[in-house]
Chains A and B, each alone.
Chain A
Amino acid sequence: MKKYTYLWKNALILALALVFAIPASLDFLAMQKREPVAENGNLSEVRMLSEYCEGLKGTPADTEIYVFDSGVKGGTFLIFGGTHPNETAGMLAAVALVENMKPTAGRFFVIPWLNKSGFTHTSPLDGMQDFFDVKLDDGSVRTFRVGNRLTNPVHQWPDRTYYEGTSGRKLVGTETAEIRNVNRMYYGNEDGVLTEKVCWAIYQLILKENVNLTMDMHEGSPEFLYLDCVMVNEKADNPTAMSIAQGMSLDMEFDDLTMRAEFSGMKSYGLSHRSLGDNTQSMMTLMETYNPSMGPLHGKMTDALIIDGKEPNYAEAYQKGLNYFKVGEDGYPLINRVARHITCIWYLAQEYTVKHPDRAMAFEGLGSYYDMVEKGLGGLLKPVE
């Protein structure tokens, strides 16, 4: 009798756990589905990243590459967002490019969800939003995911207690989780862990498609030193790389937008701008904007925090001299960050073309920074079925 009571008690606890676990699981599973993209008549083709690394085929990390070929001979520009899925502006800027871009010279490869696995989960303890909604001008609503900066441990686990990637970066201590960080594992490994395969595919894409210029779009919390800043590898395209980046900075300054250009750190092993720049022909750049929903000071997590970008805690901290980055009461809305990314890309293409007219690259369809801000996300993004 006692044995049966024990069994019933345990069965009841298990059933109760399932009652809570099943709806929670459905919440997590909902993140597995990728957002739709609006059609763009200028799109040449959609490829999968696995075309550049066979091992990615059929895995949750395989992701779409949107190819725009102007038909006019020129250079090739690779643009990706979603390296870190919680850095929303990069992903959304790439989506906006895919939906609006009309290339006029050269080719463009655009990847909105580079770490696709990272978009399927959020970060424990950070209380992150999993989705946020954007209301479009036609009244429809589009929903986008906010993921985690690392590959989902369901897809790549456990983290090894020691790992040395192809860059020579040694992952030990708490950095062991960085084995799931795309921007620590370049230039990747064809036979390595899933994250390394993503890096390897990008490396191969750059080599095989003879990519001339690459932009990796990121965001950071206000504690971070390099915000509104572009990192440039000094090796590839030497000596013109920094002058191209500085030209972009100057162009943006004329638009009343700050965008510093800095050399990439010599010891930034495994990061895209260092490792890909050192090992390929492409001029490597990485851009950062300020994201108010990142960092330890942020307040309640809401759609408004992500879209309006108002974070009074950081504004207060800035007034007290605690942040490096200037944060005002008005916040830093997502549309401004998206527009800043796209404007930076546009000017980089322009400056690159000035230096290398034989590898010209240009596009239109999005307008200036101020046009985009005026349109808002609701006007910049297109309705989808």
Chain B
Amino acid sequence: MDIELICLLVMLAVFLLANLLLKLPVSVSMILGAIAGALTGGQGIPLRHMFEGTFTYLDTVLIISAAMLFMTVIQESGALEALNAAIVTRFYKVPALMLILLMLMIMFPGMITGSSTAAVLSAGALVAPVLMMIGIPKANTGAIVAMGAIMGMAAPPINIPALLIAGGVDMPYISFEGPLFFITIPCAIVAVLILGLKHCKNLDIEKLKGQLNLEIGKKYGFRLYLPILVLIVLLVVSKLVPSLPQLGTALIFLISSAVGLFTGKRFNVWQKALESMETTIPVLGKLMGVGMFIQVLTLVGARGWIVVSCLSLGTVMLYVFACTIMPGFGAISSYGAASVMGVPFLLVLLQTGGNNDIVLCCMLSFLCCLGDLMPPTALAGNYAAQIVGLKYSPVLKKCVIPFLICLIAGLVCMIFSGSLSFLTA
């Protein structure tokens, strides 16, 4: 047996043992897995690599922290309650349309930031209470938020796995919008209708009004929504007019949060900020653990071994592996799946002939994004579950059918990428 394979198995075994048997947090389990892998690979305890790996996602960590502060402000100021009331009272007559609009709302921050976590934490947390209020069970609500966040992450203009794969083969990130919209929008619509429509066909608005806080909107008026408006304007302007001075996503969240301190109910900012950071730290830890895990995986040669082994497969098996390993790698990191597996998969699939490189790259990135539903990390599912107040396993169970539909859709588009070339025109 190759030493690289042994290292990989040891890393996975220690990680799973620590997480499932010893009930240690995912982040700590990943650290233990990384140390075990490094020792097996003859690298000792490589402190430099371990620290370097943890800093990989520093920017993402900053964005998530700032987004969580924003969400706390929105909740505590009363904007969330007011928004829920406004959406339900206006769209309750056409539930399918209401669900699709809510799904697009969940997707939006993911499209702008390229992060499913940001989508769950911002729009997801806004929409989830509305979904539960109109009668969708908690688990289904969590699944809708998770699927929406992932579709947002995969949708243009910013799809980070696609950027990573394209960058790896020197392909400019141009003309990706068509194929990415083609796969994400239909999948998002199908997912939200499957998960939510049967639960909200006959809505009793009078009963719902009893559960809604209609007063807070009247008391503070439009200014209650100012932080959300500021957030949307700054995010959109920074993308549409990139030549303007750039604030960065984290700062935009902080500015919007600061605005929210003066637009609604007053609350203890320090206390609430501490509480929000306490709930965020486990996810930040996961990101840092993922970085360390992949760094050691590369250091001991296991990354190269995985890639070469996968590339030695025949065409059919290559497609099968793309559909299983790419999202499966998301259990560690969807970005990692793109950078480790995406580039070589794209190069090999291109050699099978008749394929369109941009469509293939988009579909591979789509499969990577689905990895954010893979336990035990399951970033999107994990946070969506927290928002609806459940553990993530019931939420993930509800995601299975839409997940499989997305997987099949992605596979079909990959196989017929040549026929979808018109999308890149």
User: Do they bind each other?
Assistant: yes
Residues in A lying within 8 Å of B, measured CB to CB: 20-21, 23-24, 27-28, 122, 124-127, 130, 158, 160-162, 164, 170, 172-175, 223-225, 296-301, 313, 316-317, 320-322
What are 22 A-B residue pairs whose CB atoms fall within 8 Å in the complex? A24-B47, A27-B48, A122-B52, A125-B56, A125-B336, A127-B295, A127-B296, A127-B297, A130-B48, A161-B242, A162-B246, A173-B158, A173-B173, A223-B347, A296-B344, A298-B304, A299-B305, A300-B4, A300-B41, A313-B307, A317-B311, A320-B312
Give the contacting residue for B308; candidates A158, A170, A297, A300; CB below 8 A.
A297
Write the chain B residue with the least CB distance to A321: B351
Pick the contact of B291: A124, A158, A170 (CB < 8 A). Answer: A124
The CA-CA distance from A158 to B173 in the complex, in Å, is 22
List B contacts of A170 (CB < 8 A): 242
Residues of A within 8 A of B243 (CB): 162, 164
| Cβ–Cβ < 8 Å partners of B291 in chain A | 124-125
Given A126-B298, A175-B167, residue A322 in contact with residue B158 (CB < 8 A): no
A172 to B246, CA, bound (A): 11
With a cutoff of 8 Å between Cβ atoms, the chain A residues found around residue B195 in the complex are none
- Whether B48 and A28, one on each chain, are in contact in the complex, defined by CB atoms closer than 8 angstroms, is yes
Q: Which of A20, A28, A174, A299 contacts B301 (CB 8 A)?
A: A299
Verify A296–B303 contact, CB threshold 8 A.
yes
Contact pick for B242, options A172, A223, A298, A299, CB 8 Å: A172
Q: A124-B295, A161-B242, A320-B312 are in contact. Are A300 and B56 (CB under 8 A)?
A: no
The reply to whether A124 and B55 contact each other, CB–CB distance below 8 Å, is yes
Residues B53 and A125 in contact, CB atoms below 8 Å apart: yes
Question: Is B236 an interface position by the 8 A CB rule?
Answer: no
Contacting residue for B56 out of A124, A223, A313, CB 8 A: A124
Tell me the count of chain B residues lying within 8 A, CB to CB, of chain A: 52
Q: Tell me, rounded to whole Å, the shortest Cβ–Cβ distance linking A30 to chain B.
A: 9
B163 with A174: CB separation less than 8 A: yes
A225 vs B344: C-alpha distance when bound (angstroms)? 15
- Decide if A296 touches B50 in the complex (CB within 8 Å): no
Nearest-neighbour CB distance to chain A for B110, whole angstroms, equals 15
- Judging by beta carbons under 8 Å apart, are A299 and B53 in contact? no
* CB interface residues, B 164-207, toward A, < 8 Å: 164, 167-170, 173
Is B339 engaged at the interface, CB distance under 8 Å to the other chain? yes
User: Contacting A125 at CB < 8 Å: which of B173, B304, B305, B339?
Assistant: B339
A321 to B56 alpha-carbon distance, docked (Å): 32
Contact A24 B51, CB 8 Å, known A124-B295, A321-B351: yes
* Contact residues in A for B297 (Cβ distance below 8 Å): 127
